[in-house]
Amino acid sequence: MSDCLFCKLINGDIPSDTVYEDDAVYAFKDIHPKAPVHVLVIPKLHVATLTDCDDPALLGVLMNRVRTIADDLLHLTAGYRVIINVREGGGQEVFHLHAHILGGKRLPF
Ligand code: 5GP
Ligand code: ZN
């Protein structure tokens, strides 16, 4: 989607700090980190929100990559939090589906 911020990051039209990339997903550092480690993992296919995604394969790959990035790449051995904000009421600001990985310190509830 040409007017989507995260599609522009995937395409390299806007620079971002890449953490991981493969055919299905792109992962990068959040520009306003809310924890010592704050990474966003997004599908390369434009999907606006979780509500719009009735695709178990896409969601399975996304969550699998979240796990491998957090555990195997970032080595968040003490644990981490995964958040998907869904639509305005859930605090979603960028309408391209993304999972937040937060870690690097003990997170408050
Ligand atoms: P949301 O509130 O939609 O779940 O989260 C959107 C996230 O995207 C926010 O944590 C925000 O800091 C991050 N973000 C917004 N614009 C940019 C950007 O241009 N680059 C990067 N790396 N992160 C961004
Ligand atoms: Zn997009």
Residue ranges of E strands in 1-98 = 18-21, 25-29, 37-43, 80-83
Q: Give 2's pLDDT tier (boundaries 50, 70, 90).
A: confident
| Ligand 1 close to Cβ of residue 26 (< 6 A) | no
**pTM of this structure:** 0.98
| Ligand 1 close to Cβ of residue 49 (< 6 A) | no
Cα separation, 27 vs 10, whole angstroms: 9
Q: Which residues have a beta carbon within 5 Å of ligand 2, which is an ion? A: 1, 4, 6-7, 46, 96
Cα separation, 4 vs 19, whole angstroms: 20
Q: Given this model, what pLDDT does residue 109 score? A: 86
- pLDDT above 90: residue 1: no
The predicted model gives 77-105 an average pLDDT of 97
| Residue 32 bears catalytic tag | no
H or E segment and range at residue 8: helix 5-11
Q: Using CA positions, which residue lies closest to atom 4 of ligand 1? A: 92
33-77 confidence digits (pLDDT tens) = 999 999 999 999 999 999 999 999 999 999 999 999 999 999 999
Cα separation, 1 vs 46, whole angstroms: 7
> Which atom of ligand 1 lies closest to the CA of 28?
22
Higher pLDDT, 109 or 58: 58
